[in-house]
């Protein structure tokens, strides 16, 4: 079952589980539509995988199957991307598995 994280990892915007406005990678790194489309070009900055639209969970199912309440937020990510870094421009070999700290990826973006 998907975690359905409650916010964008990049800008900390709330992403309610019963709306269709979030993008996720296969590890469930979670981003809002604005960050995904404009900053990330639909490439996950943590693992290099594609970001796809996260399916919403119907409100009626959330009581018995609640979404995650653990916020994952990395303010340095948006700062790096706003400076013009592009996750999609990283060579594949430099992309790190999602278990590695995002901050290490940011070192590569600088
Ligand atoms: Zn965002
Ligand atoms: Zn990822």
pLDDT digits (tens, 9 = 90+) for 61-75: 999 999 999 999 998
Ligand nearest 21 Cα, by number?
1
14 located within any domain: no
Domain that holds residue 45: 22-109
Q: Helix, strand, coil: what percent of the chain each, to 5?
A: 30, 10, 60
94 located within any domain: yes
Ligand 2 centroid–CA 59 distance in Å is 26
Ligand 2 centroid–CA 49 distance in Å is 6
55 located within any domain: yes
pLDDT of residue 15: 97
Higher pLDDT, 79 or 107: 79
SS3 55: coil
pLDDT band at 85 (very low <50, low <70, confident <90, very high): low
Ligand nearest 48 Cα, by number?
2
- Number of folded domains that form the chain: 1
Ligand 2 centroid–CA 60 distance in Å is 28
Confidence check: pLDDT of 83 > 70: yes
Ligand 2 centroid–CA 15 distance in Å is 17
What is the C-alpha separation between 85 and 20, in angstroms, rounded?
27
What is the C-alpha separation between 28 and 46, in angstroms, rounded?
10
């Amino acid at each position: 079952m998907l975690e359905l994280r409650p916010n964008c990892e990049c800008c900390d915007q709330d992403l309610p589980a019963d709306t269709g406005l979030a993008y996720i990678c296969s590890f469930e790194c979670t981003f809002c539509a604005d960050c995904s489309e404009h900053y990330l070009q639909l490439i996950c900055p943590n693992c290099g995988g594609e970001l796809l639209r996260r399916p919403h969970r119907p409100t009626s199912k959330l009581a018995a199957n609640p979404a995650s309440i653990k916020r994952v937020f990395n303010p340095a990510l948006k700062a790096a991307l706003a400076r013009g870094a592009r996750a999609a421009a990283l060579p594949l070999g430099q992309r790190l598995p999602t278990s590695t700290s995002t901050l290490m990826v940011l070192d590569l973006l600088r």
